[in-house]
A and B are shown apart, each in its own frame.
Chain A
């Protein structure tokens, strides 16, 4: 008897659920995310038809406290979000622009909804990749700003968020009306994530217009917790066919990582390593972990991170 006939068949898990495919961006320049039929990168058990996408951040206000290594690539465009967005797309291969509307923060500049909407409109018109309009996690202010953006940017299919339980109706309704994709954000809990999805779909948000962020934690700042919640959501979605959880993930990595003490620290303490690479490595490690948890859109800040993540994805998806 030949050895060949004893070849081992690896047992395979069959999954019943599929992550919904969500087209983002305006007609002609659309990207599709989601569509997984197994856990991330489990090519031996299912499909991952759409490559996870790397979004790059653009801020609508000149950053003050960033580490020099993060400022440097954007030195000429820091006070011009439109130029910044273009630079990201043309030079750094950003596949999506994540417009961080920090100027609206009531604890900061407290810019008006009109000015934020104007910026969003300009950025959306300047680039031909999908654009995300992201608020500051302030229920009231986000509500005021994001609903106006939804109206002003009609037809551009932006990804608008964070939409929370407290403002889901007020932002959700104009997103339905003006045909944008909703980014629903909930605090690190499977049930809460699902509850908001139910509220949004009950409100009328279409199944192909919803992306979720069950909270993004940076390396060393609760990443594992967020990872397990994402993992459990994905497990419920594909293994238990829980239709209310079958939505692609968005992870706001850049903003979370770059605000950590370690990312901002200079070279005054040798134990923390080289400040020129430290923040980038933290961004990469967090992003790779969350890709493994199932993230479909990862927003990062540094061009070097984008480069490394794309190499990583090329390798794994090859």
Chain B
């Protein structure tokens, strides 16, 4: 018996393996959308365009209608096995579908740091000291107050009484209160016998940058956002969030003791709708999709929040406020703002500095009235995550001339010191996050993240996250692989494999030569793990864009790399990257290794610090205003620099003297 819905479309059953769960969908539903709506976290980096080939599923029973696909990512062998791309499949009958392990988005691995012994990993940057002197109030501060009980003689209203007590006991003049708080105020006051704790939000300060004393008294606008019975000032918690294009990091922080409590990370739920900001914006333009993206990001934050609250033994109502930083697109999408114009010339954002929002506005599962701070951005492609990172690192207070580089799908770069800051962004593509590569993957268990050649056998040795059987290559792996292959002459300086090495690992593949990193007998996926010349092209373009972006910005301000006193690297792979390899392939400038330092996640660092001080949210605002953005697409020298950087390490070898010397020495070594 065929089931129908109200409008007459057939209702079909899709059984998902290995979960054994069954979902009901209308005939004509896209299988990827059906799986995502069922909560299956599936890889679809290209936004369901059929381009990435990552959403492979196995149709165990029944058939699906296949959308025509000129450049099919499936081999005849795949099709024989019933393998289909979920995004190119339309459900037309009841089916049983298996979503294999490889096609699923997996939990981010945190704190795994296995690398080759002796690698020069970038040391962490020194932390700037914001709090050792003076007084600092959190942007939402709790005040305990005891109100005089009203009487026939003292008959002013509850709110007047509350404002008056705050003035009398703490010397602060509050004029505003949120309506939801006011609605329940009389009950709370009486139940608590007029002894309450009021949370006051400071929306902005007039403190000078670096002021030692910046308290809530310097605030321009104060409002009461919560009133609780009794004295709760001894504990206060906030949520710091980094809304990344690829992953979302959430941390609970102890505001009273200015300490992190616990943190976790997860892939941004929006990744199912596109890998990079451009494909997300494109996706958001269709009916209802903007809301879908907004909810997807909020859902990821909520899942992490729930996990962290459990870990910390807290409840949702313990979260006093939220600080969040993201790039301009992520910020706008989280706020549910139409982002169409971000990707159309002249590329203006809808808003650089958002007002404080409420948690219910963006669907975060804490008290609806909880204030939310979103970091201000600079331009369409230099967002709040950079402002947050710069504030967190303290660049705006430093004398040293510093280059700050955030390596993600977009590479953002800032140069300057406390006197001035210039910034630019360049599109690197997802190669450094393992995207767009034949065997690419994110930094999860089983990803090759370090690599070296045994000098005697010339055989590669791979090191994976969690020491699992290798199943793919992540960004940090990509960098060391390239550097090592170059050192051993397997890779030529133009990014092409050397056909004359005599190694059986260099072989003819479907599109040019490829190098076998791991034979299938030793891999966790049962297939050879390879890097192809097409992959190498992608990586070369990514590193070329990043280096050329930095070089163009440096040149625009009339500097040279050797004038830099510090280079700060942050982004999703800063933990693992081998600095020498990054220089060898010409991703980073050839500077003494000790100028480099890293911040694992600059954006989250800034978000956390902002939770401790209203002066720092003010400072973030000043930073955003004082950064000058340069559009590299308008810079005529960028394209030339990009072409020059698409060589290993660089066409201008004089820019990489130590690498040239190293390669020269190794070459001599082979000859002898």
Within 8 A of B (CB), among A172-193: 189-192
Within 8 A of A (CB), among B611-658: 640, 643-644, 646-647, 651-653
Nearest Cβ on chain A to B485's Cβ, whole angstroms? 15
A202 within 8 A of B: yes
A156 within 8 A of B: no
A199 within 8 A of B: yes
Closest to B500 in A: A169
Tell me the bound Cα distance from A190 to B647 in angstroms. Answer: 13
- B492, B498, B640, B653: the one within 8 Å of A191 (CB): B640
Q: What class of interface size applies to chain B in its complex with A? A: 10 to 19
Tell me the bound Cα distance from A254 to B647 in angstroms. Answer: 33
Looking at chain A's contact residues, the main secondary structure is: helix
Within 8 A of A (CB), among B307-327: none
A-B contact list, 20 entries, CB within 8 Å: A165-B494, A169-B500, A189-B643, A190-B640, A190-B644, A191-B643, A191-B646, A191-B647, A194-B644, A194-B651, A194-B652, A195-B647, A195-B651, A198-B647, A198-B651, A198-B653, A199-B493, A199-B494, A202-B493, A242-B652
Nearest Cβ on chain A to B82's Cβ, whole angstroms? 39
Within 8 A of A (CB), among B323-376: none
A244 within 8 A of B: yes
Given contacts A169-B500, A191-B640, A202-B493, contact A244 B647 (CB under 8 A): no
With a cutoff of 8 Å between Cβ atoms, the chain B residues found around residue A165 in the complex are 494, 496
Contact, CB under 8 Å: A195 / B494 = yes
With a cutoff of 8 Å between Cβ atoms, the chain B residues found around residue A199 in the complex are 492-494
Question: How many residues of chain A are within 8 Å of chain B by beta carbon?
Answer: 13
With a cutoff of 8 Å between Cβ atoms, the chain B residues found around residue A169 in the complex are 498-500
Contact, CB under 8 Å: A244 / B644 = no
Which 3 A/B pairs are nearest by Cβ-Cβ distance? A191-B643, A191-B644, A191-B651
Tell me the bound Cα distance from A288 to B667 in angstroms. Answer: 43
Nearest Cβ on chain B to A170's Cβ, whole angstroms? 9
What is B's interface to A at a CB cutoff of 8 Å? Answer: 492-494, 496, 498-500, 640, 643-644, 646-647, 651-653, 667
With a cutoff of 8 Å between Cβ atoms, the chain B residues found around residue A191 in the complex are 640, 643-644, 646-647, 651
With a cutoff of 8 Å between Cβ atoms, the chain B residues found around residue A202 in the complex are 493, 667
Tell me the bound Cα distance from A165 to B646 in angstroms. Answer: 14
With a cutoff of 8 Å between Cβ atoms, the chain A residues found around residue B644 in the complex are 190-191, 194
Nearest Cβ on chain B to A13's Cβ, whole angstroms? 21
Within 8 A of B (CB), among A209-250: 242, 244
- B498, B500, B643, B667: the one within 8 Å of A192 (CB): B643
Contact, CB under 8 Å: B493 / A198 = yes
Tell me the bound Cα distance from A189 to B644 in angstroms. Answer: 10
Tell me the bound Cα distance from A190 to B667 in angstroms. Answer: 26
Contact, CB under 8 Å: A244 / B653 = yes
Closest to B647 in A: A195
With a cutoff of 8 Å between Cβ atoms, the chain A residues found around residue B494 in the complex are 165, 195, 199
Nearest Cβ on chain A to B548's Cβ, whole angstroms? 11
With a cutoff of 8 Å between Cβ atoms, the chain A residues found around residue B647 in the complex are 191, 195, 198
Nearest Cβ on chain B to A87's Cβ, whole angstroms? 42
Closest to A241 in B: B654
Given contacts A169-B500, A244-B653, contact A195 B493 (CB under 8 A): yes
Tell me the bound Cα distance from A306 to B185 in angstroms. Answer: 100
Known pairs A199-B494, A202-B667; list 17 more (Cβ under 8 Å).
A165-B494, A165-B496, A169-B498, A169-B500, A189-B643, A190-B640, A191-B640, A191-B643, A191-B644, A191-B646, A191-B651, A192-B643, A194-B651, A195-B493, A195-B494, A195-B651, A198-B493
